[in-house]
Structure 1
Amino acid sequence: MLFRTPTIKTCEALLEEFRYAAQPFEAEKLVFTGVGERDVYNISAPFEDEGEMVIAGRVESRDSEQSEVYFFVHRDGKWTPREGAPVFALQDPFVSKIHGDLVFGGVETFSHPSIENTLGWRTVFYKGKNIASLAEFAKGPDGMKDIRLVELKDGSIGVFTRPQGEKGGRGKIGFTRITSLDDLTMEVIEGAPLLDNQFIDEEWGGVNEPHLLSNGLVGVLGHIARFDKDGNRHYYPMVFVLNPDTMEISNIELIATRSHFLEGPAKRPDLVDVVFSGGLIRKEDGTAELYAGISDAEAQKITVVDPFIKYERQG
């Protein structure tokens, strides 16, 4: 059985396990143009809008945290801003399809109300029939990133959360269900129960992109992260699977590390070993393309063995 009581595993233990797993291959840098000298990173996977494939990407100067999200389309081997598409003052974009609507979101920053010269943040959600018609419909609680939505097999909506502080420490994953996007309130998000046995208190994780599997389970693409003794951050792309009816979860598994991607720049020295999972495109040949932000400075994709097939085979 792939579902049993999950075991909390540290990043170090997961890295050791991953040494013996199938390794990623065919790393490729994505080339973005049309945004000046700014970096594009923490991208979504490509998704279809009005008949063409689009990537949402975080656009930012190397020496700044002031970010915008652009929508890019592929032209002559490069990704270029889509003409006429809206630009959002957000970080770390994500997309999903819920009840026929495109749901888009990202992280909004603002001056912290009580700590001088510090930014606060919240997740903001938009929906529309397409990119051009996106309109804001919900906000998450202040201080919470990595809120993600997935339409479940029965038509209800799964909501993944990532509280920090008293409830979540450095960041743990919660899950609840709602029947309509109208029900996505701060109270619902804050009240989502935490999933058990995923992270030690010194480490943290979050959901980047949930996938509804053919048997009704939810395949989760996320990240697990830690600080080292020198204060450097280490972010690893990971996956697990959730049974939304029973709240059973599988063990976390890594699917790539920074070393599998091509060498490149980093925003800061403490961000060299950061891979921020953006999205996963599952393919019919049993592989999947992982799109990711690398070292907070660029975007790459890499091919992995589809991590969810073995769970779909459970019926």
Structure 2
Amino acid sequence: MNKKRWIALIIFVALVGVSIVVQFPSVEEIGFFHGEDWMETVIESGSEELITVLDVEGMITANLPSGYFYDQYYHHGFFLNQLQSVYENPEVKAVVLRINSSGGGVSESDEIFQLIMDLREEYPKPLVVFFDQVAASGGYYIAAPADHIVATRNTLTGSIGVIMQSINFHQMAEDWGVEDVTFKSGPYKDLMNPLREMDEEEQAILQSIVDESYGFFVDAIVDGRGMDRSKVMTLADGRVYTGPQALENGLVDSLGQFEDSLEVAKELAGLENPTIIRIQRDDSFSWWQLLAQGPEQSLLSRLVPGLAEMQGGRPVSVNNHAVPMYLWSW
């Protein structure tokens, strides 16, 4: 390694050292909740009784790349920890969940839904949901157990259903003389192989998966909203609804702005002067975020060629398998 690279590496290590001092606050500085990379914002000061605001912003998935240059506002593990912490905290008397999401993975959406159901049974406290610009598909699914849902008149919500997509290139492959070579242990092991035509039996297998996830979605609304199943089935054809349309169809409880959802939470919790705080992920710049991207993506790896190989780094893999999604898509 030449002199310039050694100098760059020394500067980088020094900056990381400074970052360690800056990034780790004392216990007194943490605030109401103890969590790594948690940022608390006081929306309204009041008594020791708390209303806590949580956000679901972006696609509900655990599989997006992370790191400073590959950032995604929603982080699944972080949100689940948030949810657990606010419900377990006895000072929190109500929870407001702000949703701005077109949905996401079936698995992740259901994990949130199940956790909310479990926490509400163990720690009964009001849950109010505010729908921002979009709260569709999985974004609606996770809101189903709420005591009250507020939407704006411009909110797009609904999209109740499941989608599973892929692209098939078999005709193109034939035209260009591309041959698929696949060794498999069973006839359906390469289900949705894009280089061969899908038969009716395979389509039926995939449709059964979609139908089962769809049934879970309908059940969640029937149980969470207390709606008649036949009515839910009428509404659950995949279309999106505006806020007023959702109110008319019983998918939300009132129209308003974010501040209105806070007032509803106060009323349901019987609070006159609570402290309202928002918990978010701390997105302030950190040198650790550069390192957290992995050796094949980090700035350090660019300064020190061969670092990825030394650390056993491998190229980032992409999951090519189509999965069922609670997602507003086309």
Which TM-score band (shorter chain)? Answer: under 0.3
Instruction: Give the helix-richer structure, 1 or 2.
Output: 2
Instruction: Give the strand-richer structure, 1 or 2.
Output: 1
Q: Which has the larger radius of gyration?
A: 2
TM-score when normalising by structure 2: 0.22
Q: Which has the higher contact order (CA 8 A, sep 6+)?
A: 2
